[in-house]
Amino acid sequence: MTENKFEFRIEPLGKAHDRAAFSCGIAALDNYLITQARQDVEKRVSAVFICTPDVRTVAGFYTLSQYSVNVGALPERVARKLPKYPEVPTSLLGRLAVSEQFRGQGLGEHLLIDALYRCLRQSKEIASAAVVVDAKDANAASFYQHYGFIGFPGIADRLFLPMKTIQAMFEGKQSQRR
Ligand SMILES: CC(C)(COP(=O)(O)OP(=O)(O)OC[C@H]1O[C@@H](n2cnc3c(N)ncnc32)[C@H](O)[C@@H]1OP(=O)(O)O)[C@@H](O)C(=O)NCCC(=O)NCCS
């Protein structure tokens, strides 16, 4: 098995991926991939991306969809910089998991960076003010906090990263002034 995370491709969920063998230790995430993910893709409610070293093995996955956030749910210092609309469009990174077999070699980061970059690219065609994540527990929340995600006040385990921050990560601060 390769140990270089960049040798793991990230591609849309397809028939060749062996979903049944996936195990990340959180039953809800395993069951989602095994029983629900294909239907969600077919019904266009989630886009599912698989991280694989060989086209078949599922080393990790994430899901993306569009999501509307009530501006009142955001921290005041963030909300006051937004236009006075009741809701803002965002991108929802609903699930992200790495198989227990592949933990601790940078694949969680590889998936997260891929998801953030995909959201940034999409936001240039269909606007999105932030990436929102649903962390399944405090441990998952701390993974996202490690990358600068900010908690929603009063909503346990829901966090966000402003798209401007993501743009600065990939394109540098200069590009924001264009
Ligand atoms: C959270 C998870 C995705 C991390 O995957 P991973 O491949 O083991 O993580 P990586 O090897 O890419 O770690 C990248 C960085 O994140 C850090 N990290 C990993 N898990 C972390 C956690 N729970 N809390 C804080 N930091 C964490 C690592 O220390 C590493 O930091 P460094 O680059 O500064 O050394 C994985 O443990 C997982 O799938 N857990 C179960 C499902 C889950 O909780 N999903 C998240 C939300 S639904």
pLDDT, tens digit, 9 for 90 and up, residues 149-171? 999 998 888 999 999 999 999 99
Atom of ligand 1 nearest to the CA of 103: 8
Closest C-alpha residue for ligand 1 atom 19 = 143
Phi, psi of 134 (to 5 degrees): -105, 110
pLDDT of residue 46 exceeding 90, the answer is yes
Q: Which of 32, 62, 67, 144 is catalytic?
A: 144
pLDDT at 136: 86
pLDDT at 1: 46
pLDDT at 84: 87
Closest C-alpha residue for ligand 1 atom 45 = 97
List residues near ligand 1 (CB under 6 A). 24-26, 29, 95-98, 103-109, 135-136, 139-140, 142-143, 146
Atom of ligand 1 nearest to the CA of 105: 11
Enumerate domains of the chain plus CATH numbers.
5-177 (3.40.630.30)
pLDDT at 174: 54
62 counts as catalytic:
no
Structural contact between residues 47 and 94, judged by C-beta atoms closer than 8 angstroms: no
pLDDT, tens digit, 9 for 90 and up, residues 68-114? 999 999 999 988 888 889 999 999 999 999 999 999 999 999 999 99
Q: What beta strand segments (E) does the chain contain?
A: 9-12, 47-52, 60-70, 87-98, 130-134, 150-151, 158-162
Measured in Å, residue 104 CA sits from the centre of ligand 1 at 7
Atom of ligand 1 nearest to the CA of 98: 39
Q: Which of 53-62, 124-133, 147-156 has the lowest mean pLDDT?
A: 147-156
* CA separation for the pair 19, 13 (Å, rounded): 9
Return the ∠ at Cα 172 (arms to 123 and 47), rounded to 5°.
30
